[in-house]
């Protein structure tokens, strides 16, 4: 603006002859003709097809074993036992057996899975106090009202960790055993730490400052969620550093799943063991389950998943199938267009109008 004012003389108000002001910036306007569009359609179909096939192969290369143990085998008894809430305190364990036909090579991940469990309900998702799990000492004993009615018990004792999310934590535990053909059984070692991200364990979840006190003393004056059997400071009896709010199972559970059917990481195969250096060999396996989590109440199912991963993730068929479907739709459209062009528009009449 200031530039135009500086000018004087007879042509002072002459507009600048710049590409922007004269709207002459490089522009490209494709002339869509059959000769340009049809090859493009075919090309796109081929590209999608190739991508789809490639991803499908990639996904197929991962191995996955799914096991729904809700009422499998002798878990049936536990399933019935858990139907009644008053039996919650009774321990129940069961064993499921399965065999692996083809060895799982590489890192093997052990998941537990739930079906029809809506972790994505808004009021459920909001029912937590991030301040508390962040280790703020003040909030520890004074949880937010978002946790209601899981913020305090009926005596007014604050719950730690509060809220519906923590309260409903998945509390089955598993131990995997490998049965060699010789009849000998070897427990399969699972790493139960390293399941979370760095930011989870060090930023989002922290224990309250202990200052020479034990963790149990810090949590004094709070009580564990109603459905919990053990307090939060003794969730992992074997590893004292995996207790309190930084317990990895808790952290994994607290990251709510977006969909009602989900799986969450339970452990990773420890390949330091010489038997499992290359992954899980084929053979018979069994899982001993401490069966605590009731699923009847939400018509759910639960299970475990053993899988290997690629860079693409686990065995997820959505993307390859989406590519293949898209590819076939484009191909169909291309064929229809070709026919139409062949029959009606070949002489270019439609371009004139």
Partner 1 sequence: MSKEDFESGLTWEVKANSRRYHKHKQRKSFLCFTRGRYSDNVVRSHKYSLLTFLPLTLFEQFQRAANVYFLLMVVLQCVPAISSIPWYITIIPLLVVLSVRGLKDLASDMARRRCDSEINSRPCDVLVSQSFMTAQWKDVCVGDVLRIRRDQIIPADLLLLSSSEPHSLCYVETADIDGETNLKYRQALDATHNELTSHPSEEALGAFNGIVLCEEPNNRLYTFRGQLQWQGECFLLENEHVLLRGTVLRNTDFAYGLTIYTGADTKILRNCGKLRVKRTQLEEVFNKVVIGIVLSVLLAALLLAIGAGVSSYQVMTQTSFLSALVVDGNPAYNGFLVYWSYIILLSPAMPIALYITFEVIHTIHSKFIGWDLEMYWQQTDKPAEARNTSLSEELGQVGYLLSDKTGTLTQNRLLFRQCCVAGQIYGDASVSAEDVKPMDLSWNPFSSGGLRMFSPTLVETLRGQRCPVATQFLSALALCHTVMAEWKEGFPVYQAASPDEETLVGAARELGWVFLSRTRDFVVVSELGATRQYQLLALLDFTSKRRRMSVLVRDPEGGLKLYCKGADVVILERLQKNCPHQESTEMALELFAEACLRTLCVAVRSVPEALWERWSKTLALSAAMATCERDTLLEKLYDEMERDLLLLGVTAIEDRLQEGVPETIALLQEAGIKVWVLTGDKKETAVNIGYSCKLLHPESRLLEWQELRQILQSADPQVSFFKAKQTELWATHKEMARAKTSVVLTGSELAEFEERPEWGASFMSLAEQCQSVLCCRVTPAQKAEIVKLVRKHTASITMSIGDGANDVNMIKTAHIGVGLAGREGGQAVHNADFAVSQFRFLQRLLLVHGRWSYRRISLFLCYFLFKTCGFALVHIWFGILNGFSAQSLYETWFIALYTVFYTATPVMCMAFFEQFSTTRPMTTRPWRSLSRWLRPSLLQLRL
Could you list the residues that contact partner 1 (CB under 8 A)? 10-17, 21-23, 25, 27, 29, 85, 118, 120-125, 127, 145, 149-150, 164, 167-168, 227, 258-260, 297-299
Concatenating the DSSP letter of every residue in 125-157 gives HHSS-HHHHTT-HHHHTS--GGGTTSSB-TT-P
25 versus 272: smaller Cβ distance to partner 1: 25
Residue ranges of E strands in the chain? 64-68, 93-100, 104-105, 108-115, 173-179, 185-187, 190-191, 262-269, 279-280, 283-290, 301-308
Joined tokens for residue 133: 């799990």
Q: How far out from the chain centre does Cα 22 lie?
A: 53
Q: How far is the CB of 347 from partner 1 (least distance, A)?
A: 21
Q: How far is the CB of 227 from partner 1 (least distance, A)?
A: 7
Q: How far is the CB of 21 from partner 1 (least distance, A)?
A: 4
21 versus 317: smaller Cβ distance to partner 1: 21
Other Cβ atoms within 10 Å of 154 Cβ, number = 7
DSSP SS3 for 39:
helix
16 versus 97: smaller Cβ distance to partner 1: 16
50 versus 121: smaller Cβ distance to partner 1: 121
DSSP SS3 for 225:
coil
Q: How far is the CB of 305 from partner 1 (least distance, A)?
A: 20
Q: How far is the CB of 247 from partner 1 (least distance, A)?
A: 20
127 versus 286: smaller Cβ distance to partner 1: 127
């Amino acid at each position: 603006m200031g530039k135009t004012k500086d000018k004087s003389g007879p042509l002072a108000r002459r507009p600048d002859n710049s590409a922007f002001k004269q709207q002459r910036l490089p522009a490209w306007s494709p002339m869509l003709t059959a000769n340009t569009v049809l090859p493009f359609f075919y090309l796109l179909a081929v590209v999608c097809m190739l991508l789809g096939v490639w991803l499908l192969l990639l996904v197929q290369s991962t191995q996955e074993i799914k096991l729904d143990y809700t009422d499998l085998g002798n878990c049936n008894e536990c399933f019935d036992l858990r139907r009644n809430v008053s039996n919650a305190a009774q321990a129940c364990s069961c064993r499921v057996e399965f065999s692996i036909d083809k060895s799982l090579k590489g890192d093997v991940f052990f998941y537990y899975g739930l079906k029809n469990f809506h972790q994505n309900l808004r009021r459920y998702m909001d029912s937590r106090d991030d301040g508390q799990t962040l280790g703020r000492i003040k909030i520890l004993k004074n949880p937010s009202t978002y946790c209601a009615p899981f913020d305090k018990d009926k005596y007014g004792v604050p719950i730690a960790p509060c809220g519906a999310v923590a309260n409903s934590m998945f509390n089955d535990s598993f131990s995997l055993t490998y049965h060699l053909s010789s009849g000998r059984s070897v427990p399969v070692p699972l790493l139960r730490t390293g399941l979370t991200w760095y930011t989870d364990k060090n930023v989002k979840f922290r224990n309250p400052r202990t200052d020479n006190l034990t963790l149990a003393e810090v949590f004094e004056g709070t009580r564990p969620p109603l459905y919990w059997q053990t307090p939060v400071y003794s969730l992992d009896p074997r590893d004292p550093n995996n207790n309190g709010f930084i317990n990895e199972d808790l952290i994994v559970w607290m990251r709510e799943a977006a969909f009602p059917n989900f799986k969450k990481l339970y452990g990773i195969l420890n390949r330091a063991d010489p038997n499992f250096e290359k992954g899980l060999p084929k053979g018979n396996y069994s899982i001993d389950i401490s069966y605590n989590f009731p699923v009847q109440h939400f018509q759910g199912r639960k299970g475990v998943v053993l899988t290997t991963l690629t860079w693409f993730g686990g065995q997820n068929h959505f993307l390859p199938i989406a590519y293949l479907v898209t590819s076939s739709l484009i191909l169909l459209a291309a064929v229809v267009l070709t026919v139409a062009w062949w029959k009606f528009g070949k002489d270019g009449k439609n371009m004139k109008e």
